[in-house]
Amino acid sequence: CWDLTTAHLDQVSVGVTDEQLGGSVLVDHDLSRLADRVRELVDVGFDEVYLHHVGQVQQPWIDAAAQHVLPRLR
C-alpha cells in the first residue's frame, strides 16, 4: 500500500530482515554500484526503472543521482 504513514510502516515492517528487503528491491549506498545494478535491469529488458530515496531531504539525493547515476545509464 502506497498510503502508509511512517508510524504504520514501522508497524508492518517489524521482523523484516535486510535480506528479505534486498530480495524485493535494490538497496545500495554506493552510487556506482547502484548504476551498474540498474544497467543490468535495463539490459535484460526493463523499460522503466524508478529510483527512490527513503528520507525527508530529497534534493541531495536528486543531485547525487543526476551527477553519478544517470550519466552511467546513458
Residue 52's pLDDT is what? Answer: 87
User: Can you give the pLDDT of all 74 residues of the chain as single tens digits?
Assistant: 567 787 888 888 899 998 998 888 888 889 999 999 999 999 999 999 888 888 889 999 999 999 999 999 88
SS3 at position 45: coil
Residue 2's pLDDT is what? Answer: 66
For residues 65 and 51, is the Cβ–Cβ distance under 8 A? Answer: yes
Distance in angstroms (rounded) separating the CA atoms of residues 68 and 4: 30
pTM surpassing 0.85? no
Of 46, 42, 65, 47, whose CA–CA distance to 55 is shortest? 65
Of 2, 44, 53, 6, whose CA–CA distance to 25 is shortest? 53
Residue 73's pLDDT is what? Answer: 87
